[in-house]
Structure 1
Amino acid sequence: MKNFKYIIIVLLALIMIFIFSSQYSSIKNIITDKYRSRQQLVEKNIIQTVNYINNSYKVVEQELNQEMSEYSKFLVDKYRYNSEVMEWDLEELKEKFKYYDIYIINSDLEIIKTTNEADLGLDFSNFGKFAGVVRGRLEGDSFEADRIDLSTQTGEVKKYSYMPTPDNQYLIELSIAVEDKYPSFKQLNIFTDAGELTKEYDIVEEIAFYSVEPINYGVAKLRSSKKPYLDPDVPELHEDLARKAVLTGKMQSTDIEDYNLNHTLRFFPALISSEDKYQGWNFYVVGITYNDQIIEAELNKHQYLFGTNILLMIIFFIAFITVVIYLINKFEYQANHDKLTGLANRKLFVDEFKEIKIKANKFNSKVAIIFIDIDKFKDINDNYGHDFGDKVLENIAFRLKNSLKSEDKLARMGGDEFVLALGDISSQDDAVLITQRLINKFKVPFSIEGEEIKIGLSAGISIYPNDGKNLEELIRNADYAMYQAKKNNRDLETNLI
C-alpha cells in the first residue's frame, strides 16, 4: 500500500513535468514561428520593392531602347556622309538628343570624343574581359543596349547603348541618366524601403544590397550616398554568400557570432538575368543581417518564467504532497490505532503478529500471547465517571508501553482489555517471568487529577505454536487462561496460568 502511494506521487510529478515541458515547448515554437514569419515578411517586402522597381525600369527600357536605336541609326547615317567624327559637333547633337551623352570609341577601344568630358580618354582595353565585349560590339553590325544599371562613380541610374559604324572603325555609344528624363524614378529607392523595414522590425539589424559582376563574379556593396557607390571592400563571408546566391539562384543562410552576439545572415538573389551574362550589367543580391539576440531574449524571458513557474509548482506540489502524505498517514494511523490510547488496534496487531510469527518460524523460537484485563475497572467508571476512566486507560497504556521492549507488540482489544505479543522466547516460563514483572509495575498507584488510584491486572498466556497455530486461537486460549486466573486466585501476583 505504501509503495503504491509513492508510485502515484511520482506519476503525478512526472505528469506535471510533462505538461509544463510541453507548454514551454509550444511557447518556444510559437516564438520561433513568430520571428520566422517576420523574417519572411521582411524578405517578401524587399523582393516586392526590387521587383516593382525592376518592372518599372522594364517599361521604361522599352521606350528607351526604341529611342536609343533611332538616335544610334541617325548617327550611323551621319557617319556615312561624314566619317570625320572628330569634326562632329556633339554638343549640338546632344541638344537634339535631349538627356543623352554621346561617346565615340575608336578601334583601340578608347573614347576619343564625348559630351561627357569626365570620360574622355577612357580606355576600355584595360577593362579585362569586358574589353572583349566592347570589341565584339565594335566588330559587329547591330544595335545593342544594356539594361538599366547603377553607375559606380556617380550613383546615377543609367542606361547605355552601342552601335558600330558600317566600316567597324568606331563604336557609337549613347548613355542616359534615367532619373533626369523620368524624375519620378527618384522615389523608387530601395535604400529608403530598407531603412523603414529596419526601423519597423527590431530583429533586422541591416538590409544591404550587393552587386555581383557577371564575368568574374566580383562582389561589391551598394552605398546609398557615399562615393564610390559600389564598395568592393566586402567581408569574405558576405562575398561568398552573395556569390553563391547568384550561382545557385537560391537563398544562402548562415549563423555567426560576433563578440558573443549571435546573428543570422540570409542572402538571396534579387535581380538575376537569364540573358547573355556578357551584356555588361551586374546581378544583384539582398543581404539581411538578423539580430538573434531579440529572439534569444524573448526565449530567455519565457524560459525564466517557465523556470519560476516550475519552481513555484514544485514548492506547491511538495506542500500539497506533504499534506496528502500527512493525511494519508493520519488516516492509516487512525485506521490501525486505538483512538484513546494510541496503541495498535486488532487490525494492526494481526499484521504485526504475522511478522513475529514469520521470524519465529525462521529461527525456531516461540511467541507468547498475553491477554491482560484490568481488575474492577467498572468500579472506577461507576465511582469517577467515564471521562476519568478514559484517563485511567491512557495512563495504563502508557505504563504498559514503557514497560516493554521496542520489539514487543501491544494492542488494545477494546474496553479494559489489552493483548501483548512477545517474540523470541524459548519457553512459557520466560513469558511468565516477563508478565509477572509487568504486573508488579502496576503495584505503584496512579495519581490522576489529585486522586490516587490503585490498579490491578489479570493476565493469561498462550504460546505459539504449542497452544495454537493462528492468532484468533491463541488470543482465545490466553483469554481463557486470564479468566481462570481471576476465578481461581485473589492474589494478583499469582493470577497467571
Structure 2
Amino acid sequence: MLGTFLSLRTKLTVTIALFTVIVVFIISAFDYYQLKQNIVSEKALQYQLIDDQILHSLKNVDLVYSVFEQDMENQMRNALEEMAKRYRGNPDLSRWNFAALKQSFNSMDIFVIDRSIKVAYSNIDKEVGLDFSNAGDFTALLKKRIDGSEFTADGMEVSVNTGAIKKFAYLPTYDHKYLLEVGINLQDSSLFDTFNFLDESATILQKYNIVKDITIYSHDGYALGKQGEDGKALKIAERLKPAFTEAFQSQQIRGYTETAEGKELVHRFSPYRLDDKSTDLSRSRVIEIVFDNTSLNQMLAGRLKDALLKIVIAVAAALIISFIISRLITRPIARMKQLSSARLCDARRYIGAVQRGRPLFRHPAGRVQRSLRAAQHVDRPYRRRG
C-alpha cells in the first residue's frame, strides 16, 4: 500500500512539474525570440540609416560634379586635341617633354596608353608600365576607346598608384596606336572641400561606435582617397573579393562576417550607381561599411541568460508547488486506505471468530460503536475541507 501511495504521489509531482516546465519554456522561448527579432531589426535599421547617409553624401558629390564637370571636360578636351595635333607632327613620343606639357595644361597629369593596354608614357614616372590588360570590363572599355575616334571622359575615379580621386579623359591618336589620357586631381579643388564624402565618412565614424570603417571602392576594387601600406591605392582584400564582386554584379547588398581580435565584424557591401549608363564604370561604386557586432551579441547573450534564469526559477517553483499539491491530494487518499484496511481486518477477525464458535469481543456492540466513532474522527477533517 505504501509503495502504491508513493508511486501515485511521484506521478502527480512529475506530471504537474513537467506540465509547468513545458508551459514556462514555451512562453520564455517565444518571448526571447520576439526580443531577439526586435533587437536585430533595430540594429538592421540603424545599419541602413548609416548606409543611406553615406549614399546620400556620395550622390550629392556626384550630382554637384555633374553640374560643373562640363567646364572641366572642355579643358580636358582642349588639352587632348592639342596633344593629338602634336602627335601628328611628332609621333616619336619618347622625345616629348611631358613635365612641360603638364605645366602648359594647367597641371593636368598626362598618360599615353599603347595597344597592349599599358601606360607607355607619362609625366609621373611610377605610372609608366601600369598594366590595365587584365582589368576586366575596364580593359574592354579601353580597347574600345583606342579603336574609336571620339573624346570620352570618366566621372570620379581613383589613381591606382596614389589613391587620389581624379577625373580622367581620353582621345585616341589618328593611327589608333595610342590612347591619350589626361587627369585632374579632384581633391585639390575647392569644390571637393565643400562636398567631401570622405569628411562625411569620418563624421559617421565618430558619431556611431558600432561603425569601425567606411571605404568607397571603384568598380575594379580600388579605394577612393585611401592608400595601402605600399603608398598606392588601397585594394580590396582577397577574402572580401567574392562578396564585393557579387554586390557589384548583382547590384544588391552583400555581407561578409569575420572574427578579429575577439570581435565579430560585419562587412556590408552596398552597390551604388549615379545613373544607368552601362559603359560609364566610373559612376559605379561599392560602399563598404564595417560594423562591430560585439555589442549586439553581448546584448543577445544577456537576454538569453535572463531567459534561462527565468526557466530555472520556474522549474524550481514548479517542483515545490507540484510536491505540495500532490501531498494535499494523496494524504486523504492514504488515510482512507488505512481506515479501509483496518475495518477489513476487524471484519475478517470477527468472521473467523464466529466461524470458530466463539465471539472475538465480549461486548461486540460496544466495539463496533468505538470503531464507528474512530472512523468519524478520522473522516471529520476531510468533510470540513470538502
Cα shift at 1:428: 1.9
Give the counterpart letter for 2:44 in structure 1. Answer: Q
Q: Per-residue displacement from partner, 1:240-285 (whole Å, max 9, x unpaired)?
A: 22222222222334666789x6847454332257434585786425
Give the counterpart letter for 2:27 in structure 1. Answer: S
Summarize the alignment of residues 328-367 of structure 1 with structure 2, pairs less than 5 Å apart. Answer: 332=332, 352=340
2:125 maps to 1:118: yes
Q: Per-residue displacement from partner, 1:461-486 (whole Å, max 9, x unpaired)?
A: 99xxxxxxxxxxxx79x99xxxxxxx
2:205 maps to 1:195: yes
2:72 maps to 1:72: no
Who is 1:22 aligned against? 27
SS of the equivalent of 1:148 reads strand
Q: 1:44 aligns with which of 40, 49, 66?
A: 49
Check whether the contact 2:222–2:233 (CA below 8 A) recurs between aligned residues.
no
Who is 1:184 aligned against? 193
SS of the equivalent of 1:421 reads helix
Identity across the alignment (%): 14
Who is 1:136 aligned against? 144
Who is 1:229 aligned against? 233
Check whether the contact 2:24–2:314 (CA below 8 A) recurs between aligned residues.
no
Give the counterpart letter for 1:459 in structure 2. Answer: P
Higher helix share: 2
SS of the equivalent of 2:364 reads strand
Summarize the alignment of residues 61-460 of structure 1 with structure 2, pairs less than 5 Å apart. Answer: 61-73=66-78, 75-76=80-81, 80=85, 83-84=88-89, 94=102, 97-103=105-111, 114=122, 116-118=123-125, 121-122=128-129, 133-165=141-173, 168=176, 171-181=179-189, 182-184=191-193, 187-189=196-198, 191-193=201-203, 195-196=205-206, 200-201=209-210, 211-213=218-220, 219=221, 224-226=226-228, 227-231=231-235, 233-235=237-239, 238-253=240-255, 263=264, 265=266, 267-272=268-273, 274-277=276-279, 283-286=285-288, 288=290, 290-291=292-293, 294-327=295-328, 332=332, 352=340, 407-409=341-343, 420-422=346-348, 428-430=354-356, 432=358, 435-436=360-361, 458-460=363-365
Structure 2: distance between partners of 1:289 and 1:327: 58
Check whether the contact 1:264–1:289 (CA below 8 A) recurs between aligned residues.
yes
Which segment is superposed worse, 67-76 or 120-129?
120-129
Structure 2: distance between partners of 1:158 and 1:31: 45
Name structure 2 gaps, 5 residues minimum. Answer: 373-386
Structure 2: distance between partners of 1:256 and 1:65: 44
Structure 2: distance between partners of 1:322 and 1:120: 85
More contact order relative to length (CA 8 Å, sep ≥ 6): 2
Structure 1: distance between partners of 2:167 and 2:77: 14
Q: Per-residue displacement from partner, 1:194-241 (whole Å, max 9, x unpaired)?
A: 6336x522xx6665555552xxxxx56778443232235422xx2222
Check whether the contact 2:248–2:285 (CA below 8 A) recurs between aligned residues.
yes
Cα shift at 1:146: 1.4
Q: Per-residue displacement from partner, 1:146-190 (whole Å, max 9, x unpaired)?
A: 121122221211110012355656543221111111341574216
Structure 2: distance between partners of 1:251 and 1:107: 36
Distance 1:124 1:305, change over 3 A: closer
Structure 1: distance between partners of 2:216 and 2:325: 66
Structure 1: distance between partners of 2:260 and 2:112: 51
Check whether the contact 1:76–1:166 (CA below 8 A) recurs between aligned residues.
no
Which segment is superposed worse, 261-270 or 294-303?
261-270
2:61 maps to 1:56: yes
Name structure 1 gaps, 5 residues minimum. Answer: 214-218, 338-343, 353-406, 411-418, 440-457, 463-474, 480-497
Distance 1:29 1:278, change over 3 A: same
Structure 2: distance between partners of 1:430 and 1:266: 99
Structure 2: distance between partners of 1:92 and 1:225: 28
Instruction: Calculate the TM-score normalised by the size of structure 1.
Output: 0.56
Q: Per-residue displacement from partner, 1:287-341 (whole Å, max 9, x unpaired)?
A: 64553x54444344333333333333333344344444455566x389x78xxxx
